A and B are shown apart, each in its own frame.
Chain A
């Protein structure tokens, strides 16, 4: 249920995550070439197979072209003008949180993600990533008792190299697309999760990504492996300071679910979106994909996309295992001059696979909000089903909404259902709520929350409230 008071609280606040932490950082030189990649790999003390993985990806990337099919309009990115590694300076080896720079802890405190033992969130384990490195991961010992591995991917490379070597790049190959190739070449940090056979992860796991530096990109990489009959719920949050330049964020997320395993992956994306004139903001080019490898496995994506100047993101599911299930629940809100092109791909490969897509796009201001999705039934996907619902809501008369559903079926014995609608918040609806004493801004939030309810119901509790707050915040002043 939507907490109306929460909505009220934040309606009047500007982007409150826009601060910069003044901290000494170690940055490498701008630019991208083989030496830079070798340097990143060396800094992270990586084994040779990983350096090879990076170099191979870089070679592929050099031959690829930046995609333009989405029609997103943005200033050409100069890939040589980006710093590919930026980390706060701290001691060589940190053995406990006490050795973490207090400024960093303070930063995460301010973001509502306290990390210290006394203050840490009680029901969720957090991996906090600051620019290119992971700062801390909470509840590691408790999770280890259950055999759950939750750490930064850099650490996993050191301590669980076998798993990394086995799975990295198996869901999103380096050559998958331009931004995935770039990420594969230069990825810095991110989270690693491994849930052993039969284990239900005892608490939600969460990664919090913070971009602090204005001239370095963030290229995180996340890998989640759920062994047979295990399950995990993973949350991801992101914020960045307000800069008048654009910052590139190109992440790759890979999920792997074996027989009867289930992974629920929720995102609240609130990168800085730029100002009202479209100056500044994050370019968010992300490749997220899950592989339902096992029978009856399930991968569920839910996302609330409110930030970024540009969003290009299609969390997808490869449904290989018989009777596996893929889900995608999305709310994308754009305001001012934001552009979002987001959706999913549900690739039905195995028989009796099922997928559900529920997408809610809200466009306000002069923004452009597009749903782009592919549902594919392969030749062996006999008895498979898909249901898609794509709804758009327009606020004001300058915003635009598009829906691009692609459907490919090579299997006659399968079902694909697609529903789409577009609506507008009408003056009459607003007047009706106002005539019952409900304030204008609150009336808008109520209607937007109502529109998104199907998706919010899929989010973990704390996240749903957070998402609701965010939407109210983003819509401030967009109506009327």
Chain B
């Protein structure tokens, strides 16, 4: 399916990627290619390596790549620092956004937005211009301005944390966003807000990887491809109906699949 000719160049190419942490292999040869405008869903049991894959793409220092490579816009990024990856347009939406006491959300958002803008050779924004921009983006996730004066994620509810992640995505305008269980812990209304936010931010030039356990997010954002991961490998890839089938039959159904690639 993915081998069909595409008109444009891929945004992200993960090629036969193996990785370990503390000498424990977690990924065992994952390949995945994302083209502009595509939405990919990755599903699978807890501990199958989904989150690890997302962290490795974002450059988490706890993992070692033992084989294979990650290419972003055609360039190997295996050895780039996390901040370099982020500045160049890779965004990771955290499953558990981290609390940072004392650092104001507004200042954090401004510094990070400016780091990205600097990379894009855009003018960095002062506090006043940034206020304007952030007001506009707050609308997308229906967040109150008061969130900005609080410390980063500190004392936020689960739903607020996830919306704050989408707000960051909206400000950073990434080329590719990997959203790790952004739907978990959200009630129906919050899920809709987050889903519509993601849709508003993405376009024909961006790629999205949704890591999820549930069909309900995929009802809101229909993926082009669904991948099922198990024991550090992608064992099956299909279109959006694969997720529906998975929802019906459970992961046990996938246990007997042989790695298809």
Q: Which residues of A contact B (CB under 8 A)?
A: 1-2, 4, 423, 426-429, 431-440, 442, 446-447, 449-453
Contact = CB atoms under 8 A, between A and B. Distances in A.
Contact of A435 (B92, B107, B108, B151): B92
B150 to A, nearest CB: 12
A144 B183 CA distance: 67
Given A442-B111, A449-B102, A450-B100, A437 B94 contact: no
Contacts of B98: 426, 428-429, 431-432
A426 to B, nearest CB: 8
Contact of B172 (A436, A447, A450): A436
B102 A450 contact: yes
A437 B112 contact: yes
Contact of A436 (B60, B86, B102, B151): B86
B101 to A, nearest CB: 6
Contacts of B81: 434, 440
A446 B116 contact: no
A447 B102 contact: yes
Which of B81, B86, B111 has its CB near the most chain A CB atoms (within 10 A)? B111
Given A431-B60, A435-B58, A440 B83 contact: yes
B101 A434 contact: no
Contacts of B87: 437
Interface string B79-113: 00111011100001010011011111001100110
Given A437-B83, A453-B102, A427 B62 contact: yes
B233 interface: no
Which of A427, A437, A449, A450 has its CB near the most chain B CB atoms (within 10 A)? A437
B108 to A, nearest CB: 7
A451 B102 contact: yes
Nearest to B153: A432
Contacts of A436: 83, 86, 108, 112, 115, 168, 172
Contacts of A434: 59, 81-83, 86
Given A427-B62, A450-B151, A438 B100 contact: no
Contacts of A451: 101-102
Interface residues of B, number: 30
A452 B103 CA distance: 10
Given A427-B62, A442-B111, A437 B101 contact: no
A1 B130 CA distance: 15
B72 to A, nearest CB: 14
A435 B86 contact: yes
B119 interface: yes
A434 B94 CA distance: 13
Contact of A446 (B59, B92, B97, B108): B108
B162 to A, nearest CB: 14
Given A437-B87, A440-B81, A4 B61 contact: no
A450 B103 contact: yes
A447 B116 contact: no
Contacts of B82: 431, 434-435
B112 A450 contact: no
A2 B110 CA distance: 12
Interface in B193-219: none
B83 A438 contact: yes
Given A434-B83, A437-B116, A437-B172, 16 more contacts: A429-B100, A431-B60, A431-B61, A431-B98, A432-B97, A432-B98, A433-B108, A434-B86, A435-B83, A435-B92, A436-B83, A436-B86, A437-B86, A447-B100, A449-B103, A450-B101
A449 B85 CA distance: 25
A458 to B, nearest CB: 14
Given A427-B62, A431-B61, A4 B94 contact: no
Contacts of A428: 98
A438 B102 contact: no
Nearest to A443: B83
Nearest to B93: A435
A287 B86 CA distance: 49
Given A431-B60, A437-B83, A437-B119, A4 B111 contact: yes
Contacts of B115: 436-439
Q: Closest 4 A-B residue pairs measured CB to CB?
A: A450-B102, A437-B115, A436-B112, A450-B103
